[in-house]
Structure 1
Amino acid sequence: MALAGKGVLAIWNGIAAEAEADFVAWHIGEHIPERVAVPGFLRGRRYVAERGAPKYFNFYETETPEVLVSPDYLARLNAPSPWTQRVVRHFRETSRTICHVAQSRGLGDGASVATLRLAASGERAAFLARLGTMMDELQAAPSIVAVHLLEGQGGGGGATAEKALRGEPDQTADWILLIEAVEAAPLEAALAEHASAQALSSVASGYDPARDYGIYRLQYGLAKPQLA
């Protein structure tokens, strides 16, 4: 379905093998519920890779991008729980981008999502127009549930206690295209027909399928009303 708000925090991360079970339990048992409880957060989801890297993709929907630099959220980032401290030290290849929702269309949620990290090529309006045509084609393809375009606003800037635990600088994305589908096979077919590597390279700069493309399967989702 269309995203719930106008802000998104998009995160990709790997995890050291010895900490993976703890990471999965922490995400469900503490971290996602804690984040969704922050004022302005609306929903969180976690996905695992079927193709692409890093292994995990997570995103949080917020009322606005400003929620992601708000005092309430920064207070959480600067007071990580003991469990958070234990797990986050094992993150690898972390990409973390605060985003403005540029476009979002659809009805319902898909079990699989394609993530495409893009950089604008040329003039912004022309880039958006060409991406808009591609999104129209993707949305009309069989079994596609929703399509979203996110404009990166950077990583939020500033040092936090939680960022220091990761030990290496976070990557960020300029633009993120998300396509949700009922399962991976029709998603891959739609991408091959309407958003091939060649087609994406014609509208985005520096697109690298090995680095910027992934298909992920939903593992867990939590919305604000479910906390009660």
Structure 2
Amino acid sequence: MMKSEQPKQTKPAQIFGQSFTPFTSKSAPTDRLLSATCVGRRARIPDRARQRRTGIEQLNASCGGRRTKTAKRNDESRERAAQRWSPRFRAGVERATRAESWLIDRPRVLKQSGGNAREISMSLLGKAAVAMWWSVRPEQRSEFGDWHSHEHFPERMGIPGFRRGSRWTSTTDAEGFFVLYELAEYEVLTSKGYLDRLNAPTPWSTKMMPHHLGMIRSQCRLIESFGGGVATSLATIRLSPQAGCEADLQAHLANTLGTLAQKPGLTGAHLLRTDTPRTSAPTTEQQIRGKDGAADWIVLLSGYDADVVEAAIASPLSPGSLGALGAQNNPTIGSYRLAFTMTPQDVAAG
């Protein structure tokens, strides 16, 4: 009596660091495998087509090159569709691909947790930033907004390494502004592209620079970052550590900010530290404005609920609480709402 033939066992495949049994011709569609494997941050990237191609390539390699006829037909259909894309649609796909590369290549740092180093993603778009505070008189605000939105921001976003700019208006000072530029690397601060712009302001910039009153301009390294995105409300805290308390203060702030970023109403909490590059002379823009001040340490707390942001400033990040953590007792606190934001993709789309 002949024994019934047992189905052949398929060796599990390793895809994205996890084991999965490859599909046969009678299995579910390939997309289902990708849905199971494309987990975490990469699964949320808009360019699904790129994920699909990557997953198929890994699946094909794990199966020794064997593919189902259905999967091959799907590939051919996608290729034919891609050839029919209009130039405008192709341009949109290219912009989305650039956005994806920013998410994939976001800076990573080692954090200590329980004695073990773990790798996390920074939520701001880079490892450095320029944080600035200044005032503009009411009679200049209209032209300032026009210049800053339509000339100055696009100019800055055209500099290699500039990833996002945001402008915020004070909710407590009718003349106050806060501006944040997020940079890919600290070295962008001394790059030729940036210094060339600082030393060759446009005629409109030359006209507007003297109206930046009480300028505080800090060129910073990103120290701690939790959460992400751009929200509608923002609090800034300029502070300095007590002598000998730098390490303890940073550790306490990291713990506090990490907890706050997960609360309902809040979206992000970040710690920056000013590290002014050594340059040979003040730039032309600095000479026009006059001497700029600089902060020391900077805390940024953002959220979609202004009341929750204010509550955090009144309690866990109040001057008294910060003093108990090791900060000096004279922090400067500001509250802001979002006025405008721009990325290099916005410039390219225009």
For 1:77-116, list aligned pairs within 5 A. 77-116=198-237
User: 1:78-111 deviations in whole A, cap 9, x for unaligned?
Assistant: 1010100111111111000111111111143211
Q: Would the aligned equivalents of 2:190 and 2:277 in 1 still touch at CA under 8 Å?
A: no
Question: Structure 1's 107 and 62: CA in aligned 2 closer, same or farther, altered over 3 A?
Answer: closer
- Answering whether residue 308 of structure 2 is matched by residue 186 of structure 1, we say yes
Helix, strand or coil for the counterpart of 1:105?
strand
Deviation of residue 20 (structure 1)? 1.8
Tell me which amino acid in the other structure corresponds to 2:296. Answer: D
Q: Would the aligned equivalents of 1:43 and 1:224 in 2 still touch at CA under 8 Å?
A: yes
Task: Determine the C-alpha separation between the residues in 2 that align with 1:107 and 1:155.
Answer: 26
Per the normalisation by structure 1, the TM-score is: 0.92
Q: In structure 2, which of residues 324, 329, 335 is the aligned counterpart of residue 202 of structure 1?
A: 324
Helix, strand or coil for the counterpart of 1:79?
coil
Identify which range, 99-108 or 86-95, moves more after superposition. Answer: 99-108
Task: Determine the C-alpha separation between the residues in 1 that align with 2:180 and 2:197.
Answer: 17
Deviation of residue 65 (structure 1)? 1.7
For 1:142-153, list aligned pairs within 5 A. 142-153=264-275
Question: Structure 1's 148 and 80: CA in aligned 2 closer, same or farther, altered over 3 A?
Answer: same
- Answering whether residue 147 of structure 2 is matched by residue 26 of structure 1, we say yes
- Answering whether residue 156 of structure 2 is matched by residue 35 of structure 1, we say yes
Q: In structure 1, which of residues 152, 164, 171 is the aligned counterpart of residue 287 of structure 2?
A: 164
Helix, strand or coil for the counterpart of 2:256?
helix
Task: Determine the C-alpha separation between the residues in 1 that align with 2:160 and 2:232.
Answer: 27
Task: Determine the C-alpha separation between the residues in 2 that align with 1:102 and 1:140.
Answer: 18
What runs of 5+ residues in structure 1 fail to find an aligned partner? none
Match of 2:333 in 1: 213
Match of 2:166 in 1: 45
Task: Determine the C-alpha separation between the residues in 2 that align with 1:23 and 1:202.
Answer: 40
Question: Structure 1's 204 and 119: CA in aligned 2 closer, same or farther, altered over 3 A?
Answer: farther
User: 1:130-161 deviations in whole A, cap 9, x for unaligned?
Assistant: 11222133223331101111111137643111
Deviation of residue 197 (structure 1)? 1.6
Match of 1:141 in 2: 263
Task: Determine the C-alpha separation between the residues in 2 that align with 1:10 and 1:173.
Answer: 9
Deviation of residue 72 (structure 1)? 1.0
C-alpha RMSD of the superposition:
1.8
- Answering whether residue 126 of structure 2 is matched by residue 10 of structure 1, we say no
Q: Would the aligned equivalents of 2:161 and 2:183 in 1 still touch at CA under 8 Å?
A: yes
Paired-residue identity, %: 36
Helix, strand or coil for the counterpart of 1:89?
helix
Count how many residue pairs are aligned between Structure 1 and Structure 2: 225
Q: Would the aligned equivalents of 2:138 and 2:175 in 1 still touch at CA under 8 Å?
A: no
Helix, strand or coil for the counterpart of 2:315?
helix
Q: Which has the larger radius of gyration?
A: 2
Of Structure 1 and Structure 2, the greater strand share is in: 1
Q: Would the aligned equivalents of 2:226 and 2:257 in 1 still touch at CA under 8 Å?
A: no
Tell me which amino acid in the other structure corresponds to 1:39. Answer: P
Question: Structure 1's 128 and 205: CA in aligned 2 closer, same or farther, altered over 3 A?
Answer: closer
Q: Would the aligned equivalents of 2:315 and 2:321 in 1 still touch at CA under 8 Å?
A: no
Question: Structure 1's 208 and 155: CA in aligned 2 closer, same or farther, altered over 3 A?
Answer: farther
Identify which range, 124-133 or 87-96, moves more after superposition. Answer: 124-133
